Structure 1
Amino acid sequence: MFTGIIQTTGRITRLDVTDQHARLGVSAPKLVESSLPLGASIAVNGICLTVTDWRESDFTVDVMPETMRRTNLGRLARGSLVNLEPSLALDSKLDGHIVAGHVDTTAELIDRVENENAVELGFRVPHKYDPYIVEKGSIAIDGISLTVTMAQQDAFGVSLIPFTVANTTLAHYGLGDLVNIEVDMLGRYAVKQIQAWKKRVLTEKR
């Protein structure tokens, strides 16, 4: 589990992709092997991955090819910046929201506006995820816990404070870029329960 509070950013140092396997090398000076041992979980752009190796200057994570295709990891190259968050310790504060590290889909950046000290971003999202994205609700974008400021059909918006702009990858994205989306876990279960209740009611009326 994660909180969506990014601890640091890192850069892709190695990117080896085949039909059967994908392996990423990530350099992050603020993370050391003693606090992120082999087998530890880490969210890379919001994707829960496992540390499988350490070198002097970077660590390695193995990625399924399916994950490369379904997330924005497949668009990365050597030198790309990624958001990093080690897994949540049970005695840690939950400053963001509950994030599983299981990406639901990608969304396209379609709007970017600077509004005084904030940066407002708009995204286009596949229609099937509309029920899970609500105004003032939580959403994880590339692993970053954010509050939805606008929710319309097939689109939503968020607003970034200067700290988020300075300490995550979102400042580097341009229109048309894809981000990883994980909808709010509690909202997902709430919608599923409502759908199940409606289905049961309709069945009983027949």
Structure 2
Amino acid sequence: MFTGIIESVGKVKSMQPTGGDIRLTIESDGLDFSDVKLGDSIASNGICLTVVDFGSNHYSVDVSRETIAHTALEDLKPGHIVNLEKAMLPTTRFGGHIVAGHVDGVGVVRKLQKDARSIYIEIEIPQELAHYTATKGSITLDGISLTTNLVRDNIVSLNIIPHTAQVTNIAQHWLVGDKVNVEVDIVARYLERLLTKSQTDSKTAHNTPSNITETFLADNGFMR
């Protein structure tokens, strides 16, 4: 589990094909590796990945074909800047929102321009994810917890303050046409699941023939 508050940025050191998968190695001089151990989770551009090797300023993860197919990871190249966040602790300050590190889809930067001291950005997200977003709601882009300005159909607009731009890959990397990893608010997903299941159960109960017949009532003493 993560908060979407980026701890540091890293740089892609290598992407090595390994039997159809990828061994991804990221180096960072800003991330604290003192408490990292094998099997830990580190969100890399918003993707929850498991550490399989690490050193004093780098770590390696194995990325499956499933993850490659459903994220913007395949567009990364050695030297690309990525956002990093270690899994949260029970004592961690909860500064963002609940982020699972499970990417829901890939968005595209459609507009990026200066707006006073901030950066105004419009992201086109997959149409099937649009109903999980809301104006002034939360969304995760490349692992960054952000608040939406406005949602129009499947276009999400945001303003990025100078601090966020500087401590993430936005100022250094994002350009119009770039792909970004999108994770919608997990609360919206669970609410949809609860409502859908409730409606399905209600319809099933309504359409299921009743086992209570006149014979059943007579046999159990309800009729004479």
Q: TM-score, normalised by structure 1?
A: 0.93
Q: 1-side partners of 2:115 and 2:57: how far apart?
A: 38
Deviation of 1:32 (Å) = 4.4
Within the alignment, does 1:188 sit opposite 2:189 as a pair? yes
- Partner of 1:139 in structure 2? 139
- Give the counterpart letter for 2:114 in structure 1: E
Question: 1:44-72 CA distances to partner (integer Å, 9 max, x unpaired)?
Answer: 00000111112454211111122122111
Within the alignment, does 1:153 sit opposite 2:153 as a pair? yes
Deviation of 1:18 (Å) = 4.5
Deviation of 1:168 (Å) = 0.5
Within the alignment, does 1:177 sit opposite 2:205 as a pair? no
Q: 1-side partners of 2:176 and 2:193: how far apart?
A: 32
Q: After the TM superposition, which residues 1-206 of structure 1 pair with which residues of structure 2 at under 5 Å, given as runs?
A: 1-18=1-18, 20-55=20-55, 57-171=57-171, 172-199=173-200
Cα contact 1:131–1:191 (8 A) shared by 2? no
Question: 1:8-62 CA distances to partner (integer Å, 9 max, x unpaired)?
Answer: 0000011112552211111111234422122111000000011111245421111
Query: What secondary structure sits across from 1:48 in the alignment?
Result: strand
Q: 2-side partners of 1:205 and 1:121: how far apart?
A: 48
CA RMSD in angstroms, aligned pairs only = 1.7
Q: 2-side partners of 1:140 and 1:67: how far apart?
A: 17
Q: Give the percent of matched residue pairs that are identical in Structure 1 and Structure 2.
A: 36
Gapped runs of 5+ residues in structure 2?
208-224
- Give the counterpart letter for 1:195 in structure 2: T
Question: 1:123-171 CA distances to partner (integer Å, 9 max, x unpaired)?
Answer: 1111111110111111110000000111111211111010011111122
Deviation of 1:85 (Å) = 0.2
Cα contact 2:150–2:158 (8 A) shared by 1? yes
Gapped runs of 5+ residues in structure 1?
none
Deviates more, 1:190-199 or 1:142-151: 190-199
Cα contact 1:19–1:65 (8 A) shared by 2? no
Q: 2-side partners of 1:112 and 1:32: how far apart?
A: 31
Query: What secondary structure sits across from 2:84 in the alignment?
Result: strand
Deviation of 1:198 (Å) = 4.3
Question: 1:80-110 CA distances to partner (integer Å, 9 max, x unpaired)?
Answer: 0000000000111110001000000000110
